[in-house]
Each structure stands twice: as C-alpha cells, then as structure tokens.
Structure 1
Amino acid sequence: MPAPIKITYYSDILCVWAWIGQRRLDQLVTKFGDRIEIESHFCSVFSDAWGKIEGGKGFDGFNAHLCEVVTQFPHVELNPRVWLEARPRSSASAHLFVKAIELIETEDGVALPWPERASAKAAWALRCRFFEQGQDISSYEVQCTIADALGVARARIEEKLCTSEAITALLRDYQTCSDHAIKGSPTFVMNEGRQRLFGNVGYRLIEANVLELLRNPPEDQASWC
C-alpha cells in the first residue's frame, strides 16, 4: 500500500474560519481514511487578541462581522455574544493546553489517527466552548474541564506546563509557521509545500488537490493542481 498523502494543517483556535471549516477537514478524513495523514500545527493569528480586535473593528464591530459571516454556514451556530462578554486575551493559552496533551500522547505512545486523538478532540472542544458557548477558553479552569471530560489527568498537563515542554512545543509550531511562510488560519499544505490552500476554501477544491496527489505522478512530473 502506498504511503498516505501528508496534509499539514495550520490553524488558530480563535479563528472563526477554522471553526467553520472543521467540517471540511472531517469530511476529508471520512472520505480518504488512511490514504491521508493529518499533521496539525498552531499559528498565532490571535496571539494578542485584544490588540488585534481593538486595532480593527473593535469588539462590537468584530461581533457584528462574525454574526454576519456565520449566516452563510447553517451547519454552525454562533453564540450571539461572542467577543462581547467572554474575551480571551490570547489564543496562546489554549494552544499551550493542546500541546501539553499532544506531549502526553507521545509519551504514552498513542498511535491513533489524528481525529481520534485526545489532542484533536481538545482543540475542537475549545473552539466549541468559545464560538458556541461563549466561554473564555484562555482560562485554565475552562481548559481543565475539557481535560476532565477527555480523561486526561490535570497533573500530567501541569507537569508539561511547569517543565516548559509545552511552551517549547508551541514555539516550535510558531517557528514552523514562520519558516514555511504561513500567512493565516486555516492553511492546508500538501505536496511538500507546492500546494497550499488558505482561508475559506471550499471542500471540493481541497478534495481535488488530494485526488491529484493520490494519482501518484512520477517524481519528475509536477502536480497539475
């Protein structure tokens, strides 16, 4: 059996497009199964969330913008008070929490496909807690309730935070984004960087790129995508 097609996925947990677009990523996994391999990294679009929003539309304007955006996507339901009440100062705290869980999985030798891993479930739960339930996901207590639901011991997460292993893993993600010129969230990268899709990209376009790579062109033939 040929090696799976590697898809590197970059996102920020506070990015509305990554939350909306999760359905497309899930559909890829459902359709292609073990023919693809998802490698997930975080990028720092909302590292200073307050500064980004206040320097743009402001919280009221940003809330209105998001409420308008989601009307185009009936599969999601946005909390109408998003960014008006719970206002995470940064996505970095949520990213750090997920990286800690990833480290625990590596330590335990977890070899599950990406969607089945506790780290992937934690990232999705954080997005839902914020965009659907309006909770401040930069709060460690909110994060710990997710860990509890997933059966990940708080003590093990705190160990990864206290030893700086989690922050090192997160900074490695951010450096990877810089090295590969990742401009925003979400971004799909395939074919050793030759094919990249950024932002609100339709599922059929992502699927077409994967299908072209599965065609397995000779090494000296570039993909048509």
Structure 2
Amino acid sequence: MATTVVIDYYSDVLCVWAWIAQRRIDELNEKLSNKIEIRYHYLDVFGDAANKIPKQWAERGGYAGFAKHVVDSAAPYPDAQINPNIWHKVRPTTSANAHLVLKAIELSYGKDKSIELALFIRQAFYIDGQDISQLPLLFLLLERAGIALEPVNKALNDGSAMALLMADYQQARALSLKGSPSYIIDNGRQVLYGNVGYRVLLTNIEEHLKQPAAEASWC
C-alpha cells in the first residue's frame, strides 16, 4: 500500500477559484497530514491580465463584468473574502511578478516559506485590495513578513527564479492543464480541475491511498 499520495497543485495567484480552494487545501492538510504531499506549482492564466480581461469580457461588461463574476463566484464561500475594489479600482496587469517572487522565495528560504507567502500575497489582493502585480508592493509585503530581500534579489537577478517559474509554466502546458486550480494526483493517475469540492477531493485521494500503485494499469 502506498504510504503517501503526491498531489501536484497548479494555480494562479489571481484566480478566484484558487482563492476559494485555499480552505480545501488547508482542510486536506489537516485531515490527511502525513498521508499526502502537496507540491505547489504555478501556471499562466493571468500572465497578461491587462489584455485578457478586456478582450474576453468585452461583451460581458469588461472589468466591471469580470469583477461581478469574481464576487458572485466567491459569494457561497464565507472563507473566500473579496474586497469590492478588486478589478474595479485595483486591476493587476499580471500574475507573473507574484509567481516569480514566490519562486525566488522558494529558492532562498524553502518551499514551506514560499507556500506561506503565497497565501499572504493572495490575502493582500483579495482581502486588502492591493495590486500584487507591482514589484514594489511585493517587496514591501516580503519585508512586512520578515523576509530579508538580499537572497530574494539574488535569485531574481541571476535568473534562477525565472528558470524555476518557466519550468512550472512549461510543465503545465505539457500536461495540457485547462486552468487554475488543477490537481495532479499520484503522478498523473488522476487530474481534477476547477471548482472541485472538498468531499470530492478527499474521496479521490483516499481511494488512491487504499489502492496499490501497481493496480494503476493492467496493461
């Protein structure tokens, strides 16, 4: 029997469905603790938000229509607080800067610290209504979190953070992931995408915990 199920979790920091999924990820970690390993990755959904939203929502109200969509999507989930200014007054141009900084933190301070700061950055956008596409703001958030910037800047300047981010983006494309969030369970044995409920996630993961890896295929 497999003792640990690996979940490769792909998301975009500006994706409201990933914001909604945060509580589900927390609950999975709490309930399954040492039985799962969640590996966090990023994919490009809002890398060009400044063009994506006006074009894709041109006939649905533009930024105002998208802002309403975000509010309506999160409304059934009390843990997914939404600042009313986002996408109305606060319009990030890209998610890539936040992803890049988080990869620099991963290289400088480890994966756990990067996961912690990813939530901090998401909260800055969704709760506090701050433009997390702005590098000065991102650096200010790191300083508030007690992160020394010198090793982060080194990973940014020498290209290692960019290389790690591109590896995520390229792997997401290679896997033909449809969007954020995406869950790759047990090294590709199952892919779940979008607004997947907690019980669905839990049931599928528990099934993988029960089944030996050798039973994945008889061919």
Per the alignment, do residues 21 and 102 of structure 1 end up closer, same or farther by CA in structure 2, a change over 3 Å counting?
A: same
CA, structure 1 residues 221+17, in 2 after alignment: closer, same or farther (shift >3 Å)?
closer
- Percent same amino acid among aligned pairs? 39
Structure 1 contact 7–39 (Cα < 8 Å) conserved = yes
Q: Does 1 or 2 have the higher relative contact order (CA < 8 Å, sep 6+)? A: 2
* Aligned match for 1:105, one of 106, 109, 115: 109
Residue 187 in structure 1 maps to residue 215 in structure 2: no
SS in 1 for 2:214: coil
For residue 65 of structure 1, report the CA deviation from its aligned partner: 1.3
The Cα of 1:161 is off from its aligned counterpart by 0.7
SS in 1 for 2:215: coil
Deviations 1:33-86 (A, max 9, x none): 011101111000001001110012211111111122222112222111111112
| Whole-Å separation in 2 of the counterparts to 1:64 and 1:6 | 35
Q: Runs in 1 of length 4+ with deviation above 6 angstroms? A: none
Unaligned runs of at least 5 residues, structure 1: 107-113
Q: What's 1:76 paired with?
A: 80
Q: Tell me what 1:39 maps to.
A: 39
Asked whether 1:63 is paired with 2:58, we answer: no
TM-score norm. by structure 2 comes to 0.92
Q: Could you state the TM-score of these two structures normalised by the residue count of structure 1?
A: 0.90
Could you tell me which runs of 5 or more consecutive residues in structure 2 were left unpaired when the two chains were aligned: none
1:130 matched to 2:125? The reply is yes
CA RMSD, Structure 1 to Structure 2 (Å): 1.7
Q: Report if aligned partners of 1:42, 1:170 keep a CA contact under 8 Å in 2.
A: yes
Aligned residues: 214
- Letter of the aligned partner of 1:39 in structure 2? R
Classify 1:221/1:186 alpha carbon distance in 2 versus 1 (closer, same or farther; 3 Å).
closer
2:88 and 2:49 mapped to 1: Cα distance? 13
Deviation of residue 105 (structure 1)? 2.8
1:110 maps to what in 2? none
Q: Distance in 2 between matches of 1:218 and 1:134?
A: 44
Matches within 5 A, 1:69-218: 69-106=73-110, 117-217=112-212
What is the alpha-carbon distance in structure 1 between the residues aligned to residue 141 and residue 3 of structure 2? 34
CA distance in 1, matches of 2:153, 2:85: 31
